Amino acid sequence: MTNELFFQFIWQYSLFQPAELKSAAGEKIVVQYPGKRNTDSGPDFEEAKIRIGDTLLVGNVELHLKTSDWFKHGHQRNKSYDNIILHVVLENDLPLDEESHVPLLEMKNNIPAHILKNYEALQHTLHSIPCAAHLPQINSLTKEAWLSRLLAERWEAKFAEWDELLERNAGDWRVLLYWRLAANFGFKTNAAPFLMLAQSLPVNILGRHHQNLFQIEALFFGQAGMLAQEFKEEYPYRLKQEYEYLRKKYKLQPIQAHLWKFMRMRPANFPSVRIAQFAALVHQSLHLFTQIISSSSLVELTQLFEVTASDYWDNHFRFDEEQKGNSPKNFGQDSIQNIIINTIAPIRYMYSNRSGLGDHCESSIQMLEKLSAEKNAIINEWAAVKWQPENAAQSQAQLQLFNQYCVHKKCLNCSIGHSIIRLRP
């Protein structure tokens, strides 16, 4: 009928009928405070306030589906459970132990049927969004408040990963930005090799050559492992020659070319084109980090990333494969928006938060609120159930909700799930 996590949820949020609660010994029980959930080892709830008969007890509460679970889990031999003031069970499957000093409360007849029914409906649905059928019944304030928390949660997860990267580069924020921009330029498919490429090519080397686009391209394509072959066209041949010189000078080691993925991609998104665009960005952006931190203008930030790959790529998507017609390979507005959403806004927030720049933190969130919602398969799922995000802040939150909650059916950890479980017929 239920599981222990759900039973703990019912107790934590007092989703039971409080009247006529009685211990197995027949004493009246009043739950003044169910306690604070303990996520560590030991009793399930701490600091609970329970009135049993005429006595008010303050202490720990332990929950089990069956009374016998106490013994199955070996609590009778664990001193952490010596000070339990109440043992709460869904079903009492043992006779009352006259020698036990722990009051026992059986709950199976005190849980409203609609609570169980709503939870089971969420858990047993085949829909990718478990709450799809109930979403129209949830008020907008609940949804908006939960989305705000989910955006913060999504960024907190990023910051934990980025803190590790900062530690690796001795706290240099410029390097962190360089690495994260590189990963973002690879988008989902080539994020990992793009990050490896950036980490293989120190930013101080790029700084020495940033005024020379040809040398920047040679360094990036060489380190990407894309200049190891023989070329018939002059431009890649010259890049290879230049890279060999720079490689020996700086003792560089390229990554493996096979890491890059070209399959099932639009040619405009080929990693070769993205690397050329990234080289153009590095070439024109000596003080990019300072500009990003100092500006909260979306127009100004967008202009920073309006780069175009060098002329060779006007009629190429890969080396030695000339295409008909000329088409400059601009870094498009959708791609720039993706960069702002996934790298610029969060890194501005992270840096500002660590530096005590509260206004910059707020403006970083406002950036996303001013940008259009993203378009992808997951956002389409939300649109299909009539919960269309209004901006990029909400679409980021809905990605977090889908990936971290809906996919795993963690409805007990979700504000929307909480509201649905409480819904009365």
Which pLDDT tens digit goes with each residue over 179-224?
A: 999 999 999 999 999 999 999 999 999 999 999 999 999 999 999 9
pLDDT confidence band for 100 (50 / 70 / 90): low
pLDDT confidence band for 96 (50 / 70 / 90): low
pLDDT digits (tens, 9 = 90+) for 265-296: 999 999 999 999 999 999 998 789 999 988 88
Return the number of other C-beta atoms located less than 10 Å from residue 37's C-beta.
12
* Distance of alpha carbon 158 from alpha carbon 343, whole angstroms: 10
Residue 388 has pLDDT above 80, yes or no: yes
> Which of these three, 370, 391, 414, is where a domain ends?
370
Residue 423 has pLDDT above 50, yes or no: yes
pLDDT score at 402: 98
pLDDT digits (tens, 9 = 90+) for 395-409: 999 999 999 999 999
pLDDT score at 98: 45
Compute the average pLDDT of residues 305-316.
Answer: 97
pLDDT score at 425: 83
Burial (Cβ within 10 Å: 0-12, 13-18, ≥19) of residue 181: buried
Phi and psi at residue 37, to the nearest 5°: -60, 130
Residue 57 bridge partners (DSSP) = 50
- How many domains are there within the chain? 3
* Distance of alpha carbon 159 from alpha carbon 171, whole angstroms: 13
- Does 240 or 425 have the greater pLDDT score? 240
> Which of these three, 93, 111, 129, is where a domain ends?
111
pLDDT score at 19: 87
Domain match, 302 and 411 both: no
* Distance of alpha carbon 361 from alpha carbon 268, whole angstroms: 34
Residue 99 has pLDDT above 70, yes or no: no
Domain match, 193 and 338 both: yes
pLDDT score at 260: 98
pLDDT digits (tens, 9 = 90+) for 54-76: 999 999 999 999 999 999 999 88
Q: Which helix (H) or strand (E) holds 45?
A: strand 45-52
pLDDT score at 337: 97
pLDDT score at 77: 86
Residue 287 structure tokens: 């003080």
> Which of these three, 89, 111, 133, is where a domain ends?
111
Compute the average pLDDT of residues 362-391.
Answer: 96
Domain match, 102 and 88 both: yes
Q: Average per-residue pLDDT in the chain?
A: 94
Please tell me the pTM assigned to this model. Answer: 0.89
Residue 264 has pLDDT above 60, yes or no: yes
pLDDT confidence band for 356 (50 / 70 / 90): confident
pLDDT score at 357: 80
Domain match, 231 and 214 both: yes
Domain match, 391 and 275 both: no
Domain match, 136 and 184 both: no
pLDDT confidence band for 47 (50 / 70 / 90): very high
Domain match, 317 and 195 both: yes
Domain match, 102 and 197 both: no
pLDDT score at 331: 96
pLDDT score at 20: 83
Domain match, 106 and 119 both: no
Residue 97 has pLDDT above 90, yes or no: no
Domain match, 149 and 188 both: no
Domain match, 72 and 188 both: no
Q: Which domain holds residue 156?
A: 114-168+376-425
Residue 86 has pLDDT above 50, yes or no: yes
* Distance of alpha carbon 74 from alpha carbon 68, whole angstroms: 10
Q: Which helix (H) or strand (E) holds 56?
A: strand 55-66
Domain match, 308 and 411 both: no
